[in-house]
Amino acid sequence: MADHDGTDPRVARLRVYPVKSLDPYEPDRAEVLPEGGLGFDREFALVDDDGDYVNGKNERAVHRLRSTFEPPATVRLRPNGDPDAVRTFDLADSEGRAAAEAWLAEFFGYPVHVRRDEHGGFPDDTHAHGPTVVSTATVERVADWFDLPVENARRRLRANIEVDGVPAFWEDRLFPSDDREHVVGFRVGDAEFEGINPCQRCVVPSRDPDTGEELPEFNRRFVERRAAEKPDWAGDAWFDHEFRLMVNTRVPRDTVGAEVSVGDAVRILDERPR
């Protein structure tokens, strides 16, 4: 059923990232965990001896590492471009985790440790633990800005919930346009979320997800296009700069344990105090 504005928002794609910064796993449905993330999303993280993340922000070599995931905790790793070098590890098992750490240390050239959090993972935004949301049309617009394949742009942006049936930047309706003291409630299937703010982007979207090579003047071009195409409904409350795209969310307590699924309707509910 179409919304009052003629749109028909539906979940087109779910993506979680079982090992933070590595490749996605694409389930048909996902459970909302106690800390607000989706099941398996960033359940594991790689850290160095100082406890700092070994991720795309801090380590360019992450982009040259391919991974596939099989629930509940099997991960296959290989260097990019070397399909015959696949190694399989059970990260739920201490021996499997130690073997993965040894392989990763050889790949990166320094000790790497695998950490696990089954209750909410290791989110990028520690104040808004919920799934991130973007529209398919927005991903397509970003791909067009930089003459990229759509899947390449999708891998750069790394959203959890992708919504189709709506125009580009529709997700900017999921946070308040005129102040930072409210949130926007919305429903995905039987799960309710609260949109907090447009996500402040880091260096990762500027890099090719396979090689780590940066697009020249990515930030400048992104900011120019975002400013030129930002819809009126986005407002200015959160745009102290234009390097923001995708929506961060949080999860009301009653939603914990609910599931979201591909094909679920997405409905905006109300604006409420933060």
Give 60's Cβ-side CA count (13 Å radius). 8
Model pLDDT, residue 3? 59
How crowded is residue 83: how many other Cβ atoms within 10 Å of its Cβ?
Answer: 9
**Predicted confidence pLDDT, tens digits, the chain (274 residues):** 455 567 899 999 999 999 999 999 999 999 999 888 999 999 999 999 999 999 999 999 999 999 999 999 999 999 998 888 999 999 999 999 999 999 999 999 999 999 999 888 898 777 778 999 999 999 999 999 999 999 999 999 999 999 999 999 999 999 999 999 999 999 999 999 999 999 999 999 999 999 999 999 999 999 999 999 999 999 999 999 999 999 999 999 999 999 999 999 999 999 999 8
Question: What domains can be seen in the chain, in order of their start residue?
Answer: 10-22+124-273 (2.40.33), 44-116 (no CATH)
Model pLDDT, residue 4? 54
Rounded to two decimals, what is the model's pTM? Answer: 0.94
Model pLDDT, residue 191? 96
